[in-house]
Amino acid sequence: METELTVVTLNCWGIFLVSKNRIPRINAIADELASGKYDFVFLQEVWTTKDFERIQLRTSSVLPYSHYFFSGVVGAGLCIFSRFPIKTAFFHQWAVNGYIHKIQHGDWFGGKGIGMVEVQHEDLTINLYCAHLHAEYDRSNDEYLAHRVNQAFDTAQFISLTSKHADLVIVAGDLNTEPGDLAYRLIVHTAHLNDAALSCSSSSTETNVNKMNTFETPRNSYTSSSSLISNPFGKRIDYVAFKSGPSVIANALTCETSWPDRVSGQTFSYSDHEAVIAKLRVCKSLLGCTCNLLTGAEISISDEVKKNEILKESIEICDHALSHLQASNKMYILLSIAMFVLFTITANFEFQFVLVLRIVILFLLSFGIFMSVIWHKMEVHGILAGKLGMVIELGRCPLASGTDKVLQEPRGGGGDDIWV
């Protein structure tokens, strides 16, 4: 059996009341998807079910199967459309995903994670994964690096654990990480994925690689002039990746960002991201197959060495984050103590401005207690869970090897249970 599959992924930038030209853009995206060109569609930042239903209604004749992943406060924003029947669907929410008080970023409220559906196409069992990692708001001082690294490892582990019986795995989405970044390397090498853009010979030159940039590109109507000063070609953070199972060979024939620069008849683009379209050739049997890549079962020793180096680097990021959390927790404890003292001192004053001040103090006191007692534990346990998973994957877990003492005494004392 030999077949070709066309895949598209797009971050739709569908934030209610925030994203510009949202409804006409969603309608234009739906019209393009209804053209019948695509077998699988991966969408991110479809933040309202009404937008999902708009797309679903317009594409039902060519993409009759779809699934929207509900999660968090406003939903994960992820959905998958398929030409072929969806057998099962599952959503895995990440343990760490930004901060609840960083309302201006909003990642936490999305309850982000990785969505998976299993599709049956003739004799092929295909696992489709859609993900949208935490955004990088400041590259020079990335406060979310440990979160994104943990999300990347969690994503890779989830793919590996749920795709053992799949003939083909396709992963697509806005990974918010550039090629060469740790999170990108962690996903690709730990899950043993092929980046479709790099698998195509047409993407081998620097010029063609720049054409695959998907965010803040010069061609996009929503790209600001200030971002082009620092990044004149934009950056590549949206991907299609794949791997094949035993007795299956897959390769990427093309990978492009070929949607028009503007919505037809309009002055704006389809989104602030570019759509990535990849065409894959898949062979079920090795006999008589014209594909020329290794099967997903064949992993070289050099790949394993590279993966181990990436895991060690990731563990260091986790250790640094855990140490930083110790210091920030002390700050929240001191804030709580200071606010409690001020609240007590102002108890005997009844002036109106003092009453307002007491309300502010009470809010800060509650915030300090919440962050130091509840949120601190949640973040520590999330990062620690990721780190210990990396340790096991690396093969250094004392339960596995009996040689390395990975779990040491907690740093900083004070009865805290941050194991580093």
Q: Which residues are catalytic?
A: 273
Q: Residue for token digits 């390397």? A: 185
Total Cβ atoms within 10 A of residue 297: 12
